[in-house]
Amino acid sequence: MSLVDLLDPAFFRLSPKDFQAHLDALPEGTEWVMVDEIQRSPELLNVVHRWIAKSSNDPKRLRFALTGSSARKLKRGGANLLAGRASVFNLYPLTHREIPPGYPVEQLLKWGGLPEVVLEPDPTEKRRILKAYTTTYLREEIAEEQLVRSLEPFQAFLSVAAQMNGKIVNYSAIAKDVGASTTTIQSYFEILSDTLIAVTLPAYHASIRKRQRSNPKVYLFDLGIVEALIESSIGGLLSGSYSAGNRFEHFIFLEIYRIQSYRELNWQFSYLRTKDDAEIDLIIERPNQSTLLIEIKATDNVSERHATNLNRFAPDFKSAEAVLISNDPVAKRFGHARCLHWHAWLSEVLPS
């Protein structure tokens, strides 16, 4: 395998002509070429396209693995996105099934799942890694990629976005807090989505048109990053400002989202909130399967009152399953709602 790391000074200014020459020089029998940070040199994709298009009988035909952190930059630059010739896969922080043996799952809720953070045993160093990530990547790297015109309002936006994590987005209120226009704030959220820094959870409605008009919730891609952004905005480090209930809901949503994404299940996610503020945390529409109505509670002792909204709304859905996911080790049922420990439910619906 040949590795072309576009962060390496040797490849940083690699031209399409030089890239072609590098590929021509690869020894016979080379099967894979990996190009890291492809968004830094999107013009190389034309060279990749030509090699992919070679006949399957060509002895110099190569296979490519292209990695990058900004699909947005590629799209904006009119890059060759290899439509129909390449598969797209997203890589996320570690799920609970990928953590090293003996690593407490509770640590994922506290520190998140970035591999470098998980593998670091020292809490002080974990904090430094998270702080460096929020400073270097989420701020400076996005500015360097010219995804935002001005870094200052975007820095303020990131802290506000972290505080709004998992809540319904109010674009105009955030715009006032940041000192930017509503349109700018909407574009910032699009940047977070395109760079995989956030997952957008739309409001549920049977009508796709109406669903798109309702304000979404937004979840940042990692719990440790949420904490680091919140604490950097008010001073101090990871003092537990992100409440346990919100953290647990965030954790469960990300686990479901990541695992189904890796399995290419094409589940559609949304939330339900009525005018009287009754809410279902998560609605999952699954192709050729029943719809899942999910409430997520951090409690280790589920009672009937926790299932109130599930029992209220379940009859309004055709062939839906109502599930309450919690830390309670005892399986229970209250009306329409099955109540399961989160690990048991994930093992049932998304078995290893």
Residue 167 belongs to some domain of the structure: yes
> Which position has the higher pLDDT, 300 or 235?
300
Residue 20 belongs to some domain of the structure: yes
- Helix and strand counts by DSSP (H, E) for the chain: 15, 11
> Are 165 and 302 contained in the same domain?
no
Give me the CATH number covering residue 39.
3.40.50.300
User: Domain range holding 334?
Assistant: 265-349
- Closest by CA position to 252, among listed 163, 198, 323, 325: 325
> Are 65 and 149 contained in the same domain?
no
Give me the CATH number covering residue 209.
1.10.10.10
Q: Name every residue whose Cβ is closer than 8 Å to that of residue 87 and which is 6 or more positions away in sequence.
A: none
Residue pLDDT, tens place only, 39-91: 888 899 999 988 888 766 777 789 999 988 766 666 665 566 676 677 888 89
- Closest by CA position to 16, among listed 80, 111, 73, 103: 80
Residue 143 belongs to some domain of the structure: yes
Residue 229 belongs to some domain of the structure: yes
> Are 170 and 308 contained in the same domain?
no
β-sheet bridge partners, residue 244: none
Amino acid at 212: Q
> Are 157 and 284 contained in the same domain?
no
Percent of the chain with pLDDT over 70: 86
Query: Are 259 and 350 a contacting pair, CB within 8 Å?
Result: yes
Give me the CATH number covering residue 336.
3.40.1350
> Are 269 and 317 contained in the same domain?
yes
Q: Number of folded domains in the chain?
A: 3
pTM of the model: 0.87
**pLDDT of res. 243:** 81
> Are 153 and 225 contained in the same domain?
yes
Least confident of 69-83, 159-173, 199-213, 241-255: 69-83
> Are 129 and 207 contained in the same domain?
yes
Domain boundary among 185, 220, 251: 251
pLDDT confidence bin for 144, thresholds 50/70/90: low
**pLDDT of res. 238:** 47
- How many Å apart are CA 343 and CA 295, to the nearest integer? 15
Residue 165 belongs to some domain of the structure: yes
> Are 40 and 124 contained in the same domain?
no
Three-class DSSP category at 34: strand
- What the block records as the tokens of 49 is 């396209």
- pLDDT value at 285 more than 90: yes
- How many Å apart are CA 279 and CA 275, to the nearest integer? 10
- How many Å apart are CA 165 and CA 330, to the nearest integer? 30
> Are 134 and 238 contained in the same domain?
yes
Residue 69 belongs to some domain of the structure: yes
> Are 115 and 56 contained in the same domain?
no
Domain boundary among 193, 217, 251: 251
**pLDDT of res. 71:** 65
> Are 207 and 328 contained in the same domain?
no
Residue 258 belongs to some domain of the structure: no
Least confident of 21-25, 154-158, 297-301, 325-329: 154-158
Using CA atoms, how far residue 185 sits from 61, 93, 191, 227, in Å, is: 45, 26, 10, 21
**pLDDT of res. 10:** 86
The mean per-residue pLDDT over the stretch 187-203 comes to 89
> Are 142 and 242 contained in the same domain?
yes
> Which position has the higher pLDDT, 188 or 311?
311
Highest mean pLDDT among 37-41, 114-118, 163-167: 114-118
Residue 109 belongs to some domain of the structure: yes
